[in-house]
Structure 1
Amino acid sequence: MFISNAYAQAAPAADPGLMGSLSTFLPLILMFVVMYFLMIRPQQKRAKEQKAMMDALSRGDEVITAGGILGKVSKVSDTYVTLEVSANTDIVVQKNSVSTLLPKGTLKSL
C-alpha cells in the first residue's frame, strides 16, 4: 500500500565488437599455445628421435629394451630385432621395444 512496485528495466545490449570477443577468447588461445610448446612439440620431437634410432639399428649395436634387457643386436628385420643377451643366448623382440642405444663397448661380457 505505501510502497510502490519497482520494475527492473532491461539495459540496452552492448555490442562488444571485435576487441570484446577477442579479449574473451585470448586466455583460452594463449593456454593452447603454451600447451603446444610445453607438451605436444617436445613429445613429437622425442617420437621422431626414437623412430630415427630404430631405423638406424644395425648389427653389433648395444641396446636396452623397454623391459630392461641389455643385449647386442645380432639380426635386424623390418619389425623384429634379435638380441644376444649372453653367449649363445638370443632373444627376438619387437623393434619398437628398443628404448636406448648404448655407446659401443658398454657390454663387455657378450
Structure 2
Amino acid sequence: MWLAEGGGSSIWGMILPFVLMFAIFYFLLIRPQQRKSRERGSMLSALKKGDKVTTIGGLHGTIDTITDDTIVLKVNDVSKLTFDRSAINNVTARSTEVKSESES
C-alpha cells in the first residue's frame, strides 16, 4: 500500500530534473546561439561596396563587388579575390560614402 501511494510523486521526481536541465541548456546555450546567428545574418545582409572586412581565414580587404552569394574583395591595388558571402567574419570599417547634393 505504501508503494501505491508514493508511485505518483516519484514520476515527477524523475521528470523534473530533465525538464530543469533542458531549461538550463535552452537559456545558456541555445538562445544565445540563436541571437548570435541573427546578428551575423543582419551583418551579412548589410554589407555594401567599400566596407572593410575580415574573412574567416584572416584576410583583410575592401568589398569591390557584391552579388547574392559572392563578394569580391580588393586586397591591394592589383589583387581581387572572390569569396562566398558566408566567408566574411566581421566588418572592420563601414564605407563612408557621402552623397553630395548638387547646389543650384
TM-score when normalising by structure 2: 0.82
1:66 to 2:59 alignment: no
Question: Higher relative CO (CA 8 A, sep ≥ 6), structure 1 or 2?
Answer: 2
Count residues in correspondence: 94
Task: Indicate the structure (1 or 2) with the bigger Cα radius of gyration.
Answer: 1
Q: Which among 95, 99, 103 is matched to residue 89 of structure 2?
A: 99
- In the alignment, which residue of structure 2 is the partner of 1:82? 72
Write the distance in 1 (CA, Å) between the matches of 2:2 and 2:25.
39
The one-letter amino acid of 1:24's match is M
Q: Which among 23, 29, 39 is matched to residue 13 of structure 2?
A: 23
- In the alignment, which residue of structure 2 is the partner of 1:44? 34
Percent identity of paired positions between Structure 1 and Structure 2: 31
User: Structure 1 or 2: larger helix share?
Assistant: 2
Deviation per CA, 1:29-60: give whole Å up to 9, x if none. Answer: 10110001111111111111111111000000
Write the distance in 1 (CA, Å) between the matches of 2:53 and 2:77.
16
* Structure 1 vs Structure 2 CA RMSD: 1.7
Deviation at 1:66, TM superposition (A): 0.5
Write the distance in 1 (CA, Å) between the matches of 2:78 and 2:46.
25
Write the distance in 2 (CA, Å) between the matches of 1:31 and 1:104.
42
TM-score when normalising by structure 1: 0.78
Write the distance in 2 (CA, Å) between the matches of 1:77 and 1:104.
18
Deviation per CA, 1:4-41: give whole Å up to 9, x if none. Answer: xxxxxxx8742422x33212211111011000111111
Gaps of 5+ in 2: 96-104
Deviation at 1:104, TM superposition (A): 4.3
